[in-house]
Structures are given as C-alpha cells and as structure tokens.
Amino acid sequence: MSSAIDLTDVLDVRPGQPADLVLRRATLLDPVAGIDGVHDLVIRAGRIAEIAPPGAADAADAEELDAAGLHAFPAFFDPHVHLRTPGHEHKEDIETGSRAAAAGGYCGIVAMANTDPPVSIAGDLTALREQARTGASVPVGFAATVTVGMKGEELTEMVELRDAGAICFTDDGLPIRSARVMRRALQYQHLCGGTIALHEEDPELSAGGVMHEGAVSAALGLGGWPSVAESTMIARDCALAAYEDARIHVQHLSAVESVDVVRAAKAAGVKVSAEASPHHLCLTDEEVRSLDPSRFKMNPPLRTEADRQALIAALRDGTIECIATDHAPHHADEKEVPFEQAAFGVTGLETSFAALHTELVLPGVIDLGLLVERLAGGAAPFDLPRPTLAPGSEANVALCDLAAEWTVGEDGYESRSANSWCEGRTLTGRVLVTVAGGQVAYRLRSFSLGVAQ
Amino acid sequence: MKNLLSIEEVDRDQIEAILDRAESFAEVGRRDIKKVPTLRGRTIVTLFYESSTRTSSSFELAAKRLSADLVSVKAAGSSVDKGESLKDTVATLSAYDPAAIVIRHPYAGAAQLISGWTGAAVVNAGDGKHEHPSQALLDVYTLRRRLGTFEGKRIWIVGDVLHSRVARSNLIAFRRMGAAVTLCAPPTLVPRGIEELGCDVTYSLDRLEEADVVYVLRMQLERMNDKFVPSLGEYAANFQIDSRRLGPRQLLMHPGPVNRGVEISGEAIDSPQSLITEQVAAGLVVRMAILYELLAGRPERPTALGEGAAAAEAGAPTIGQPA
C-alpha cells in the first residue's frame, strides 16, 4: 500500500548487482501511474531514475538496450505459486521456481505453504527465507498455514509466524472445512494481521470430483466437482469476514456463481479481494476431452465458456483485482497416469503474460493496459508495494516483445517441471528482460545475443 | 482402425463392418471345428485391473479361436501388487511384441493412455466409468439380429447411469445406429449434463411402455462409496424391471452380472423376451470380429530388428478355414 517501502524490504532475494540500465525508446505502459508512450527508461542503482524523451537519456556507465518497438511494463506480481520446498524438490525448488518467475516477467511471488511439512512454525519459515536469500532470482515471500499442518483443527502461532515474515496465511491446497475454525482465524487476524487467502472448496460437494461437473464430465464418466462447491464456501467466508470485520483474499476463482458472490460481497462492503488464473481465463472444460492431465487437470477445474466469460467480465470491472498463476509443478510420474489418478495442477509462471496476451489482448477481449494492471495487481491485497515505472521507485520492469512468436516447451522450461497448460502452443508476446527488486533477473538468451552483435 | 478406445470414435460404417464380420464368425461357431488360423503366431495380451468374468473370458476365447498366443495378466497377483506403474507394466508386456493389448482399468482414459506407450493395437475392455466399446458393439449386434434396423426404435436404459460405462457407450452406439434413447434412473444416479449426449432423461418408469427395448443396468454397489438411494428396497419398488412392468413385445437386455431381485426380477431374466444369454454368446463373436478388424488386415509392427514385414506377408489373413 505505502510506496515508501520496496518489495525487497519485505521479500527475500539473492543479492546481486543493482541494475544500471537504459531502455532506449521503449514503449512504456503503466496505467496505474499514468505512464504511456515512447521514452527512454533510465534505471540507476536499481531504481527508476528518470523517464526521458526518446533518445535523450544519458547512458554513461550504464548498459544501453535498444528497446525501439519493445514494451516496458511494471514487472508482474504473483501472490500464488507453489515452490514445493521443502519436501518435493524433485518438482521445484526456490531456485528453479524463481527462475521461472523471472522468465515470466515477475518481480515478486508468494510461495504457498502446502509443502511437506507444511509451513506451520516460525523456524521453517525462517529457513525458507534464508534459502531465498541465497538462491532466489526474484524477490520471494512465503505464506504460512492458517491451521497446524493444514489439518483444519487448530490455529498456528500466527503472531510468531507474522513476526518471522509470513506474507499471509493460507491452507491453500485444502479448504478450511470447519466454519468454527475459520471464524477463529478471522478473529485472530485482528491481533496478528496478514490477509487470509482461501482455497474455497466444500469437500463434501467436491468429493470424488476431478473436473467440472457438467456435460463433459457426464460424457467422460469422470467425477464432477460442481461450481457450487466453490461458491457456497465463498459465501460462507464472506459472511464470516463481514461479521468479524476481517480481511480475506479468495484464490483462483473459477465459476460464474463465485464471481457473483464476490461481487455482491464487495458491494456490501466486505473486505474481500480475488484472483483468477490464466488457465481459467483462457480454457474451458472442453479441453478435458483429451483426457490429458498434464495440461488440463487442476484444482479448481476448468469450467464452461459461461464461467470463463464471467471471469473476464470480473477482471474488467475489478471484482477480480489480480491474475495469479497458481503455478503448480508436478513430476512427469504424477502426470503420466490416467486422468483420475493424476495430480492436480499446472505450471504457469513462464507463460502467463504471453498466453493472456495471445488469448485475450490480441483478439480484443481486454486491452493491454488492463492485462498489465491485473498482472501486477497481486501485491496490493497483501499490503505489498505495487510494481511501478514511476521515477524514484525500486526498478521492477518487464521488457517484452509483443510481436515475438514462440512455441512453449520447445526450448524446455526454467521450471523443473513440464506440466504447462501451454505446452506445444504457439504464443505471441515474449518477455525479453526482467528487472526484479532492482536487479536484472532474466534475459532471454537469443535477445541478449542479438543485442551483443 | 488402429485401436478400439471408445465407441465415440467409431462411425456407423465401421460398426456395421464389425457386426458383419461377427456374423461370419457366428457361422464358423456352428461348425465342428470352431477355430480359424487368422492370427496364428501373433500374441494377444489381456491386462485386467478389475475383476471380470464375461469380458475377460470372451476376449481370451476369441483370441484362441483366432489361433493367437494368449497372455492373460490380472492385476491381483502380478507386479501391479508390488506397486508397478501402468507405464512400466505396459512397457514390460510390450517387450513380448504383442499384436494387441486388451485392457480393463478402473480409471477413465487408461486405454487411450497406454496406446501412446505401445506399438500394439489397444482394445478398451472398460475404463473406469467412461466407456466399454466392445459391450456396446455386442449389444448392437444382438439387437440388430432381433430388430433388423434401429431406425424408429426406442431404447430405454434403466438404472445406475452414474456409475456405468455401459450406459455411456451404449447410448452413443444406439443413437449412432438410429435409435432414440431414454435414460431412466433416480435423480441421484443421473450425471448432470448427460442429456447433452442427445437422450431423454426421466425419473420414472411411467412411460416405459413406449420402449421397444429395455436395457437394464446393474446397480454397481461396488462403485458406490456413498448412499445414492435410501435403500435397495425403495430402488426396487420404483425401478425394478419385472414381468408386471415389462410388456410382451418389449425386448429385455442386461450387461451382467445381474443383481437378481434388485434392478431386475428373476422371472424377467428367465422370460422369453430376455436376450441376456444371447448377449453373452454375441460377446464371443463380436470380440473375435474386433480383434480381426484391428489385426488381420494390418501388417505386423516392424520390430527394432527390422523383422516382421516378411512375416506379415506370409501370414495373409484367412477366414473360415479350420486350423
């Protein structure tokens, strides 16, 4: 919220050389800061030093990139990723996951706490933060669980966890089944602070479900996970948040019913924010006819075209303030099995901008400015500073070529896992350089080589 | 046709071709020597991850009647018990270079999945609650013999649609052949959205007399980890097909095994309208026809050593000659 702090004041990153970089004649776009046009963007000592007229900036002692025809945006912020550490480092770790984030244009990510063991005690959180300070390419924050071991029974020591640096609290991966426990967490928030982020799923209604319940699940004979299993839990938690005057963030909205509940709650003054994932904004349950769990099995599941349209409308009107990838890497062994047996989740950090640019911006469904705004919108719900191009702020910049076409997966992934929902797709728009927390976190190899010539 | 993974991907002409082939095998079945040399020297693997009597025995007998070498693997008692993955099991069995793998698996899409891991033709003998294409083909075969044509005919599928792969495959197949299909079940056993497959749905047997064929489904008690109906007694009172509800010109079918006195009464099973034993007999010839269609016209897969092509030419398929 306050622009007085930087992302790196709160999140952890491997220390490196502060960037001194001039993006010559870049097309800058930061709708929130009111910046739009061709300028020289000057980064000095890791901060945005100046926005100069095209060709006018002094590049002495700085690296100069010819950015004519390229776009520079505030780098993106993802409040919902799974780095699988500790416990499942064969799927992802802080190094590979944060590299994937850098490749996707992100300057900050929040790692979920459903690790093995879950992040339920301050010592574990402290250890993770130390790992990030030695291995993270972009600033990383860590969530702590709401309940001990994600068992849904007793609250964690939320004050101590918050003091140790927990960005937020969430049992993501699982819902908080008990309304009583949920209510206690919301009450306790008045003491410990920190947004409570919620995976909304009534396990009674979703039991046995592996995809959206509807015509496609009926045709395939797969167990249905109905939309109402999500929307009824959101309604419960919005009512509880209103009653306790607490603050919640609803994760990965997937259904029209859920959008309606969040919109109504916001109108009634409930302190609720919401996110949607790129895959729910681009795909429908028709994809599941392929029975390919590697690309199309996730939780919550892909839903219908009407649901997708409702999410897009909510993205436009601000009911959904941010895009979160729910980057969920899995090893091939957990995906090369029949659909019902496969693990839930797809990766998304490396493709989110390109996929949404290709599927929503290019066809004219949403405009580029809205996409850029929502991709960076995940910081505010957690009281973190919104990435911006405004002079004086910490440099968090994604330099993108909107015309570049590339086929996802053909050069492999920065992530340790390959379960990308975009695998094999040809996308238009690519991140070339990411500056995160004031440091150059990523350069697309072919672009750097081209620049060197 | 390289594989038989679902009835969804088989068009009407292909269905008719398999049925015609099955008729010719029925002819062979009436001879003293019921075996033909068509698949001599080729190997067929049956891989069953779920229990089965009819489907496994008829595929095995079909393979033997076609003179193929048969390997039957049941998950219980195999390395699957030791935690071997489906992928590794299929790789192991593929090392024998089988011409076909017939698989039954408790999860949807298993047959399709393994078709990407083996050069063998893959036959889906039931994948979870998804499809059971050979059952649909044998039921269409049985009915075609009785009805001649499906055009203008009404078929009611009655019972536990939610847990039934037979319901899905047969609904698709009956419609493709030109029949109109009505699903009848308690609302808790009807999957939401099933009507988009092009059928009517009703929750009562009141209009049952409009049916030319009544296809009764098994109450899949083993797949129900929850109470979908208050009691089997209440289910039977409202949905059991018995001689009182069944009209004299209506044909009765059931994929078996039956729960006598639950979805169907004993008298109905034994009535002259019942085609249940005809269905079982059809299972053998239709599965012979399936294996024939997939394998006989198809050269043996070239192996890593480059053998096989010559063997395929030498083994030109023949039918109707005793082995």
Q: Which helix (H) or strand (E) holds A445?
A: helix A445-452
Asked whether A253 and A280 are in contact (CB, 8 A), the reply is yes
Look at residue B222 in the predicted model and tell me its pLDDT.
Answer: 67
Entry pTM = 0.93
Q: Which residue has the tokens 């920190």?
A: A194
How many degrees, rounded to 5, is the angle at CA A350 between CA A346 and CA A353?
Answer: 105
Nearest to A339 among B108, B131, B193 (CB): B108
Asked whether A19 and A439 are in contact (CB, 8 A), the reply is yes
Look at residue A393 in the predicted model and tell me its pLDDT.
Answer: 97
CA distance A208 to chain B (A): 10
Across the interface, do A338 and B131 touch by the CB < 8 Å criterion?
no
Asked whether B122 and B291 are in contact (CB, 8 A), the reply is no
Across the interface, do A219 and B168 touch by the CB < 8 Å criterion?
yes
Look at residue B316 in the predicted model and tell me its pLDDT.
Answer: 42
CA–CA dist A155, A161 (Å, integer): 11
Residues from chain B contacting residue A338 (CB–CB below 8 Å): 86, 105, 107-110, 113, 127-128
Asked whether B2 and B283 are in contact (CB, 8 A), the reply is no
Where helices occur in chain B by DSSP H, the ranges are 12-29, 54-65, 86-94, 110-115, 133-147, 165-176, 232-239, 266-270, 276-295, 309-314
Nearest to A291 among B85, B109, B191 (CB): B109
pLDDT beneath 50: ranges in chain B: 302-323
Look at residue B185 in the predicted model and tell me its pLDDT.
Answer: 97
Q: Chain B 127-156, CB below 8 Å of chain A: which residues?
A: 127-131
CA–CA dist A377, A374 (Å, integer): 5
Classified as helix, coil or strand, B236 is helix
The candidate with the shortest Cα–Cα distance to B275, out of B208, B215, B185, is B215
CA–CA dist B203, B115 (Å, integer): 38
Q: Tell me whether strands A21-30 and A35-44 are parallel, antiparallel or unpaired.
A: antiparallel
Backbone angles phi, psi at A116, to 5 degrees: -130, 100
Q: Chain B 285-304, CB below 8 Å of chain A: which residues?
A: none
Asked whether A405 and A350 are in contact (CB, 8 A), the reply is no
CA–CA dist A423, A421 (Å, integer): 6
Look at residue B300 in the predicted model and tell me its pLDDT.
Answer: 62
A interface mutation test: which of B130, B195, B217 has the most A CBs within 10 A?
A: B130
User: Over its length of 453 residues, how does chain A's per-residue pLDDT go in tens digits?
Assistant: 444 599 999 999 999 999 999 999 999 999 999 999 999 999 999 999 999 999 999 999 999 999 999 999 999 999 999 999 999 999 999 999 999 999 999 999 999 999 999 999 999 999 999 999 999 999 999 999 999 999 999 999 999 999 999 999 999 999 999 999 999 999 999 999 999 999 999 999 999 999 999 999 999 999 999 999 999 999 999 999 999 999 999 999 999 999 999 999 999 999 999 999 999 999 999 999 999 999 999 999 999 999 999 999 999 999 999 999 999 999 999 999 999 999 999 999 999 999 999 999 999 999 999 999 999 999 999 999 999 999 999 999 999 999 999 999 999 999 999 999 999 999 999 999 999 999 999 999 888 766 644
Across the interface, do B192 and A216 touch by the CB < 8 Å criterion?
no
CA–CA dist B197, A218 (Å, integer): 9
Across the interface, do B85 and A337 touch by the CB < 8 Å criterion?
yes
The candidate with the shortest Cα–Cα distance to A282, out of A262, A257, A309, is A309
Look at residue B225 in the predicted model and tell me its pLDDT.
Answer: 59
The residue annotated as part of the active site, out of A93, A237, A285, A326, is A326
Look at residue B120 in the predicted model and tell me its pLDDT.
Answer: 97
Which residue of A lies nearest to B190 if distances are taken between CA atoms?
A218
Q: Which helix (H) or strand (E) holds B46?
A: strand B43-48
Residues from chain B contacting residue A340 (CB–CB below 8 Å): 107-109, 128
CA–CA dist A86, A124 (Å, integer): 9
What value of ipTM does the predicted structure carry? Answer: 0.89
A124 is catalytic: no
Residues from chain B contacting residue A216 (CB–CB below 8 Å): 193
